[in-house]
């Protein structure tokens, strides 16, 4: 079965370190998204991509970057981790423009100490 997987599921890192969270989908979806989930804020969009070599900033993109070198992967990099980036991160994908369902990964819980 097609799926979307995130790794690692849990990570603890120190302030100032570079961290990369992986997202891999086997749906062959063009659209991929990264969200962060925080209490009282719901899910906020960090970055998104509509296809290979396409990346776009979401509403909370500062301190994060993504790259899309193939259809399957959209890694999220925290350039210099800050305590404010402690959160649960979700990757999602959709197939086409106007798609009605987004498929989500299980999430990565990141703690910055």
Q: Which residues bind another protein (CB under 8 A)?
A: 31, 33, 35, 40-45, 48, 50, 58-59, 90, 92, 94, 97-102, 104-107
Choose between 53 and 98: whose C-beta lies nearer to another protein: 98
Cis before residue 22, ω within 30 degrees of 0? no
CA distances from 110 to 1, 21, 42 (A): 28, 9, 16
Two tokens, residue 21: 């969270």
- Collapse the DSSP code of 71 into the 3-class scheme (helix H, G, I; strand E, B; otherwise coil) and give the result: coil
Residue 6 Cβ, how far from another protein at the closest point, in Å?
8
Residue 49 Cβ, how far from another protein at the closest point, in Å?
10
Choose between 58 and 75: whose C-beta lies nearer to another protein: 58
Backbone φ and ψ for 62, nearest 5 degrees, come out as -60, 130
**Sign of torsion over alpha carbons 92, 47, 95, 100:** positive
Choose between 9 and 17: whose C-beta lies nearer to another protein: 9
Residue 69 Cβ, how far from another protein at the closest point, in Å?
21
Choose between 33 and 64: whose C-beta lies nearer to another protein: 33
């Amino acid at each position: 079965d097609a799926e979307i997987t995130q790794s690692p599921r849990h990570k603890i890192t120190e302030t100032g370190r570079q961290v990369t969270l992986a997202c891999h989908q086997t749906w062959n979806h063009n659209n991929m998204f990264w969200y962060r989930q925080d209490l009282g804020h719901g899910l906020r969009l960090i970055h998104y991509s509509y296809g290979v070599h396409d990346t776009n900033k979401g509403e909370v993109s500062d301190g994060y970057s993504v790259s899309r070198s193939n259809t399957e992967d959209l890694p999220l990099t925290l350039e210099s981790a800050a305590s404010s980036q402690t959160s649960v991160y979700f990757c999602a994908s959709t197939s086409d423009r106007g798609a009605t369902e987004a498929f989500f990964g299980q999430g990565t819980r990141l703690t910055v100490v």
